[in-house]
């Protein structure tokens, strides 16, 4: 009322009836997140990762209450240190049918996948997206991009117009049950762990204790099984060891390759090349 003086700090909130629930499930903030699914761990090729330093890329997912995990690494299997988190959102699954080896682009085969373990969803792209490797996927060691994703059942898809052997990976046949993941070079649900070059040839041990959707209830390391990974250094770019190749890489011109009657002075491994269809490598006109 006008003129009424109320002492500071005295008063009560107006009473309202509690709003009824809209039916959304309520989760206990300390709910058990469940174990992390067996992760996909691979060393990206130099053409994808840059090749300056070897690295492991880790895709991890979990069940309905899984909010993510902390990746711990060890070089001896006893002492572990955290290297970073993986958050929910990755699309991980398995193949539901064999995928044969085929020439790139593969316009006749279907890559059939089941993403139930991650409750993942896939969307189609354009042919340009596939050719540009925008829809990049990991398939049992081979990197593949696709154009069309057709929903065949809940969390199951058929992928068509496949760009095979992306970034120089080996085109191979893959059995039903092989691991699959949809990811991108800037995907926040993929942990990229660069490791020292001195680790090449050693075995690294990973543990992925999970936390729930509220970031709580982190599992104990003692309750999580270790994943052993043999480090190959596959992502390190090879420096040319041939003076002719080194000059070509540096743009030195002209080049003197000697007489055709001379023996070959050296050899060079160009490594697998990934070229768009219709592109050629031109070494010039013979003299």
Cα–Cα distance, 162 to 173 (Å, whole number) = 13
Kindly state the tokens that stand for 211. Answer: 């936390």
E strand map for 96-250: 111-114, 136-139, 142-153, 156-163, 179-182, 190-194, 203-207, 210-212, 227-230
Q: Does domain 40-90+185-230 have CATH number 2.60.40?
A: yes
Residue 81, pLDDT above cutoff 80: yes
Q: What percent of the chain has pLDDT over 90?
A: 64
Tens digits of per-residue pLDDT, 221-230? Answer: 999 999 999 9
C-alpha Rg value of the chain to the nearest Å? 26
pLDDT for res 213:
93
Give the whole-number percent of the chain exceeding pLDDT 70.
Answer: 72
CA proximity to 106, closest of 131, 69, 76: 131
Contact yes or no for 180/139 (Cβ under 8 A) = yes
Mean pLDDT over 97-106 rounds to 97
Q: Which strands, in side-by-side order, build the sheet including 40-42?
A: 40-42, 55-59, 190-194
Supply the DSSP symbol for 174.
Answer: B
Kindly report the average pLDDT of the chain as a whole number.
Answer: 84
Whole-number Å distance between alpha carbons of 173 and 97 = 11
- Maximal C-alpha separation, the chain: 112
Its pTM stands at 0.74
In whole angstroms, what is the distance from residue 89 CA to residue 67 CA?
Answer: 9
Distance CA 274, CA 172 (A): 15
Q: Which residue has the tokens 């949809």?
A: 182
Helix intervals (H) in 186-261:
243-250
Cβ neighbours of residue 265 under 8 Å, at least 6 residues apart?
Answer: 244, 258
Chain segment 121-168, per-residue pLDDT in tens? 999 999 999 999 999 999 999 999 999 999 999 999 999 999 999 999
Instruction: Provide the β-strand partners of residue 212.
Output: 66
How far, in Å, CA of 242 to CA of 108, rounded?
A: 41
């Amino acid at each position: 009322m006008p003129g009424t003086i109320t002492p500071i700090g005295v008063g009560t909130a107006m009473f309202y009836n509690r709003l009824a629930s809209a039916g959304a499930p309520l989760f206990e903030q300390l709910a058990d997140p469940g174990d992390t699914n067996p992760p996909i761990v691979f060393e990206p090729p130099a053409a994808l990762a840059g090749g300056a330093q070897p690295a492991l890329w880790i895709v991890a997912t979990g069940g309905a209450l899984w909010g993510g995990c902390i990746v711990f690494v060890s070089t001896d299997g006893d002492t572990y240190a955290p290297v970073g988190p993986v958050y929910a959102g990755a699309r991980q699954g398995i193949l539901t049918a064999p995928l044969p080896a085929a020439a790139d682009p593969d316009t006749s085969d279907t890559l059939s996948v089941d993403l139930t373990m991650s409750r993942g969803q896939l969307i189609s792209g354009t042919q340009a997206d596939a050719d540009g490797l925008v829809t990049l996927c990991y398939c049992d060691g081979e990197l593949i991009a696709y154009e069309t994703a057709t929903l065949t059942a809940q969390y199951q898809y058929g992928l068509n117009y496949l760009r095979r052997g992306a970034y120089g990976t080996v085109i191979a046949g893959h059995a039903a049950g092989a691991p699959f993941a949809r990811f991108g070079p800037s995907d926040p649900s993929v942990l990229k762990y660069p490791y020292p070059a001195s680790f090449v040839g050693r075995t690294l041990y990973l543990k992925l204790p999970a936390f729930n959707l509220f970031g709580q209830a982190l599992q104990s390391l003692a309750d999580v099984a270790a994943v052993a990974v043999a480090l190959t250094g596959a992502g390190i770019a090879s420096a040319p060891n041939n003076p002719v190749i080194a000059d070509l890489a540096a743009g030195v011109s002209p080049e003197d390759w000697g007489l055709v009657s001379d023996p070959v002075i050296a050899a060079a491994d160009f490594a697998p090349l990934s070229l768009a269809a219709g592109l050629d490598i031109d070494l010039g006109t013979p003299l």
